[in-house]
Structure formats: C-alpha cells, structure tokens
C-alpha cells in the first residue's frame, strides 16, 4: 500500500509501460519527486480508478 497526500501529487496519468498500461502518479520535488506506477486489470478498471482519482484530486 502507498499513501501520497493530495497536495504532494504533481500529476496522475495513464501511460504505456513495458508491462502494458499503468496508472502513474508523480509527486512534487518537495516530497521526493517519485514516479509511482501501478498496474490494474482489466483496462476498464484502470480507466475507472484514474478518473476517480482525478475527480478527488481537483
């Protein structure tokens, strides 16, 4: 499990990786400038989670 406070989140994207599509969360330089990638299957679930996180992040 990973917990990233919303104010430390720089971007949330769906990107292609060598393992297929991944949900990618980038943190701010203040919080370590991490790039976290998560796989979710099926792709519909990945898109659904991405949309929900974007809604909560606004």
Q: How far apart are CA 49 and CA 33, in angstroms?
A: 22
Residue 46 · residue 21 · CB < 8 Å: yes
Kindly report, residue by residue over 2-34, the tens digit of the pLDDT: 888 889 999 999 999 999 999 999 999 999 999
Domain ranges, ordered by start, for the chain: 6-57
**pLDDT for residue 50 is more than 90:** yes
The whole-number pLDDT of residue 57 equals 85
Q: β-pairing, 35-38 with 9-17?
A: unpaired
The whole-number pLDDT of residue 1 equals 80
Closest among 26, 25, 24 to 15, alpha carbons compared: 24
**pLDDT for residue 44 is more than 90:** yes
Q: Radius of gyration of the chain from Cα atoms?
A: 11
């Amino acid at each position: 499990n990973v917990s990233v406070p919303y104010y430390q989140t720089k971007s949330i994207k769906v990107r292609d990786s060598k393992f297929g599509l991944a949900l990618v969360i980038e943190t701010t330089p203040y919080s370590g400038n991490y790039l976290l990638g998560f796989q979710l299957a099926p792709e519909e679930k990945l898109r659904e989670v991405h949309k929900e996180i974007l809604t909560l992040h606004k």
